[in-house]
Chain A
Amino acid sequence: MSKTITIDGQVIPFEEGQTIMEAATEAGVYIPHLCHHPEYTPHGSCKLCNVNVNGRTCSACTFPAMEGQQILNDAKDINEERKKITQMLFVEGNHFCPSCEKTGNCQLQAVAYHLNMLDDHFPLFYPHREMDASHAKVLIDHNRCIFCTLCVRASQQKDGKDVFAISGRGINKHLIINAESGLLKDSELEATDQAAHICPTGAILIKHTAYQVPIGERIYDHTQIDQVSLNSENLQHDN
């Protein structure tokens, strides 16, 4: 008998050592997330994957699956909390979708669509953040960074480099680049690095590719992120 957990009434098998997120993804159950990526060590920072485990709120990407857990995921109050978290991510940065190259391919936007987020609810911060266009092939717009650390992890764990880090705390938190000048052009980053392609928002972009796919024909324009995410993540798992 394999061990099982129950998510929204559905019995799901898991293997020892798997997180709730891993077990759910394998079973075709989508749990919203932004900082999680199946190929990297979980970070547990965006809190979008919050689920209710036996009455307590836990991050599904970091919490181990354990025999008999009763988990609530796609519940109205949990999705309302996720929507509030997403709204906070939007107001804390500068996310002007109509003028962003990533629109339609952006996971932050897609999660917001999935949660039927129609407004920002909170007052907007309009923080003053810089753009780094110094690199010949890669651009960083700090206005759109949500500090998921996927680029940090990808650079360390996949590319064998150490190009990015998060510095500062709280509202002063920001992405820094490992170069004496602090500029991307003086870092080891190459456009072929995983770190240059992993950003879930429009913060790290490959130059000269912006409108190759027209708006209206992009990934999330007609397909919800739950379908896209489950298909791609299970594909990666099978490989």
Chain B
Amino acid sequence: MTTKIRVATTSLAGCFGCHMSFLDIDERMLQLVEVVEFDRSPITDIEHCTNCDIGLIEGGVCNSENVHVLREFRKNCKILVAVGACAINGGLPAMRNFIPLEECLNEAYINGIGVENAQIPSDPELPLLLDKVRPIHEVVKIDYFLPGCPPSADVFWKFLTDLIEGREPSLSYELVHYD
């Protein structure tokens, strides 16, 4: 038996929409798992990466935990892929970059409509927020980018099959969308 290709996935400051779109490859998932084994991923509940061939990162970085997870992926994945608009340019979460962090927290936890027992969460277990949401290529080296909000299932399929079959991944015009 040949060793399967190990794939890890995670969602940082994302909405899991990219993961949902990945699952939209539907029955092709059965073909995929013949050659691929999932490591750390919301699909497996494995908590930490071991040596992987491919890491798929959804979302940008908005807090300290995102940075740690991203660095763990970079350390353990031979090929690291930015998946979706948020990983590539911060996306929707980065629209808070124009509002000071304190104002954001006050609006959500102090002055927001219907807030009771108003206080800004400060449990030491909570990761600290970064002052700005950043795309992941500003933190670690990224090998490939799959644009889209989300990238379509066909983008995941084309990219992964190219890579698995030893071709340089390429996306046709129809597969490249930023929206």
Chain A contact residues, CB within 8 Å of chain B: 90, 94-100, 103-104, 109, 112-113, 116, 118-121, 123-124, 126, 128, 215, 221-222, 224
How many angstroms from the CA of A106 to the CA of B92 in the assembled complex? 19
13 A-B pairs with CB atoms under 8 Å apart are A90-B89, A95-B89, A96-B85, A96-B91, A97-B178, A98-B178, A118-B88, A118-B144, A118-B145, A119-B82, A119-B88, A119-B147, A222-B174
Partner of A124, one of B95, B135, B177: B135
Instruction: Decide if A98 touches B179 in the complex (CB within 8 Å).
Output: yes
Interface residue from A90, A94, A113, A123 paired with B173 (Cβ < 8 Å): A113
- Note all chain A residues with C-beta closer than 8 A to B174: 222
Are A103 and B178 touching (Cβ within 8 A)?
yes
Complex Cα distance, B90 from A124, in Å, reads 9
Minimum CB distance partner of B60 in chain A: A124
* B146 contacts partner chain A, Cβ-Cβ < 8 Å: yes
- Give the interface of B toward A (CB within 8 A): 82, 85, 88-92, 94-95, 97-98, 132, 134-135, 137-138, 142, 144-147, 149, 171, 173-174, 176-179
| Interchain CA distance A104-B179 in the complex, whole Å | 8
In the bound assembly, the distance between CA atoms of A204 and B86 in angstroms comes to 24
Q: Are A97 and B176 in contact (CB under 8 A)?
A: no
**What is the bound-complex CA distance between A176 and B107, given in angstroms?**
31
The CA-CA distance from A109 to B134 in the complex, in Å, is: 21
Give complex CA distance A235, B95 in Å.
Answer: 40
CB of B98 within 8 A of CB of A126, answer yes
- CB closest chain-A residue, reference B134: A124
Q: Is the Cβ of B138 less than 8 Å from the Cβ of A123?
A: yes
A118 and B134 CA atoms in complex are apart in Å by: 17
CB contacts between A and B, total, < 8 Å: 67
Q: Is B90 touching A98 in the complex (CB atoms < 8 A)?
A: no
Nearest CB on B from A215, distance (A): 6
A97–B149 CB distance below 8 A: yes
Q: Is the CB of B85 within 8 A of A98?
A: yes
Please state if B91 and A126 are interface contacts (CB–CB under 8 Å): no
Contact between chains at A118 and B138 (CB < 8 Å):
no
Contacts A120-B137, A124-B134 known; 12 new A-B pairs at CB < 8 A: A94-B98, A96-B91, A99-B95, A118-B146, A118-B171, A119-B142, A120-B89, A124-B89, A124-B90, A126-B98, A221-B177, A224-B173
B90:A116 contact, CB within 8 angstroms: no
Contact between chains at A126 and B92 (CB < 8 Å): no
**Contact in complex: A109, B178 (CB < 8 Å):** yes
Let me know if B179 and A97 touch, CB within 8 A.
Answer: yes
- Of the listed residues A99, A119, A221, the one surrounded by the most CB atoms of chain B closer than 10 A to its CB is A119
| Chain B neighbourhood of A109, CB < 8 A | 178
**Would A96 and B173 count as touching, CB distance under 8 A?**
no
Chain B residues lying within 8 Å of A118, measured Cβ to Cβ, are: 88, 144-147, 171, 176
Residues on B with C-beta less than 8 A from A124 are 89-90, 94, 134-135, 138
A69 to B97, CA, bound (A): 48
Interface pairs A-B: 4 shortest CB-CB: A97-B178, A98-B149, A119-B145, A103-B179
Minimal beta-carbon separation of B51 from chain A (angstroms) = 26
CA distance A221 to B92 in the complex (A): 21
Nearest CB in chain A: distance from B94 CB, A: 7
Could you tell me the distance in whole angstroms from the C-beta of A132 to the nearest C-beta in chain B? 15
Write out the residue numbers on chain B whose beta carbons fall within 8 Å of the beta carbon of A224. Answer: 173
How long is the Cα–Cα vector from A143 to B91 in the complex, in angstroms? 14
Point out which of B98, B149, B179 has the most chain A C-beta atoms below 10 A from its C-beta: B179
Q: Which residues of B contact A96 (CB under 8 A)?
A: 85, 89, 91-92, 94-95
With a 10 A CB-CB cut-off, give which of A94, A96, A116 has the most chain B CB atoms.
Answer: A96
**CA–CA, A187 and B132, complex, Å:** 35
